[in-house]
Structure 1
Amino acid sequence: MILRQLIVMVCLLIVSSSTFAYRCTIDMRKIDEAMAKKPAITQSQEIEVRKLRTEGEALHKKGKHKESIEALHKALEILGVQ
């Protein structure tokens, strides 16, 4: 019984980690697409978006997907993208 619960928990952990990783790449693509359209944002906002995008990608590569998503969502918020 305990072994079965442990196996289920490990499987859920693996699935949730890969879901976060997938989410990062989707958000990075959204930021890139929005920036390519030359959004109506200030220069300082553009700098902040680029910084957050770079930070998000670096965190993603380190396997810190939760932190990556937080940075990327801040950038998306500045851009007004959902």
Structure 2
Amino acid sequence: MILRQLIVMVCLLIVSSSTFAYRCTIDMRKIDEAMAKKPAITQSQEIEVRKLRTEGEALHKKGKHKESIEALHKALEILDVQ
């Protein structure tokens, strides 16, 4: 019984980790698409969005998907993208 629960927990961890990884790439694409449309934001906001986008991608590559999503969502908030 304990072994079965352990196996289920490991499987859930693997699935949730890959879900976070997938979410990062979707958010990065949303930021790139929004920036390509030349949004009506200030220069300082644009700099912040680019910084957060770069930071989010670096965290994603390091496997820190929760932190990556947080950075990317801050950028999306500035861009007012859902």
- Distance in 1 of aligned mates of 2:60 and 2:80: 22
Structure 1 counterpart of 2:10:
10
Q: Deviations over 1:24-74 (max 9, x none)?
A: 000000000000000000000000000000000000000000000000000
Q: Give me the TM-score of the superposition, normalised by structure 2.
A: 1.00
Alignment of 1:29-68 (within 5 A): 29-68=29-68
Is there any run of 5+ residues in structure 1 with no aligned partner, and where? none
Q: Deviations over 1:4-37 (max 9, x none)?
A: 0000000000000000000000000000000000
- Distance in 1 of aligned mates of 2:59 and 2:73: 13
Root mean square deviation of aligned Cα: 0.1
Shift of 1:81: 0.1
- Distance in 2 of aligned mates of 1:11 and 1:56: 26
- Distance in 1 of aligned mates of 2:59 and 2:21: 10
